[in-house]
């Protein structure tokens, strides 16, 4: 019987994707190097809310043509994408109610709700608010 390596599951937040795709950010190089590691060692997860936030940033910051190229690259990366379903809104509300004092906002609450429902404990982010959530381990290559 062959040894199978179980990959960790990591949710990747929008700021991480933005630093990865925008070479003009000071965080780009560190995140690019780190992404190579999590890409090979982990199963990557995101949700449509994060994708929309990244899409918006790319168009506004880099312009439509470059954003299109970055979007094509983003879409091609193999990761699990999760839509936000109406039936999950109560859970999102509970996350927002519970963690809003930490700086967690509505978009972040969608992430927490999904992570909690799937037992995902790691998030790649530079958002310090997630460090105050009891069931989350923040993976932040930017120090």
Q: Which of 36, 1, 41 lies closest to 20 in space, CA to CA?
A: 36
Work out how many domains the chain is built from and give that number. Answer: 1
pLDDT (tens digit, 9 = 90+) per residue, 77-121?
A: 988 888 877 878 999 999 999 999 999 999 999 999 999 999 999
Look at residue 1 and tell me if it is in a domain.
no
- The answer, yes or no, to whether residue 1 has pLDDT greater than 70, is no
CATH number of the domain bearing residue 62:
3.40.50.1010
pLDDT (tens digit, 9 = 90+) per residue, 31-47?
A: 999 999 999 999 999 99
Look at residue 124 and tell me if it is in a domain.
yes
Number of neighbouring beta carbons within 10 Å of residue 95: 22
Look at residue 3 and tell me if it is in a domain.
no
CB contact at 8 A, 11 and 123: yes
Look at residue 50 and tell me if it is in a domain.
yes
- The answer, yes or no, to whether residue 4 has pLDDT greater than 60, is no
Look at residue 2 and tell me if it is in a domain.
no
Range of the domain at 86: 8-139
Cα 92 to Cα 48: distance, rounded to the nearest angstrom: 14
pLDDT (tens digit, 9 = 90+) per residue, 51-79?
A: 999 999 999 999 999 999 999 999 899 88
Q: Which residues contact 65 (CB under 8 A, 6 or more apart)?
A: none
Task: Say what the pLDDT of residue 6 is.
Answer: 77
């Amino acid at each position: 019987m062959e040894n199978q390596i179980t990959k960790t599951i990591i949710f990747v937040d929008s700021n991480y994707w933005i630093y990865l795709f925008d070479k003009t950010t000071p965080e780009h190089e560190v995140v690019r190097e780190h992404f190579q590691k999590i890409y090979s060692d982990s199963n990557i997860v995101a949700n449509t809310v994060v994708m929309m936030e990244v899409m918006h940033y790319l168009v506004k910051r880099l312009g439509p043509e470059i954003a299109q190229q970055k979007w094509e690259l983003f879409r091609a990366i193999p990761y699990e994408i999760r839509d936000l379903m109406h039936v999950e809104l109560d859970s999102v509300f509970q996350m927002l109610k519970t963690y809003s004092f930490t700086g967690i906002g509505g978009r972040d609450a969608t992430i927490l709700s999904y992570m909690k429902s799937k037992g995902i404990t790691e998030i790649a982010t530079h958002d310090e608010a997630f460090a105050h959530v009891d069931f989350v381990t923040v993976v932040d290559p930017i120090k």
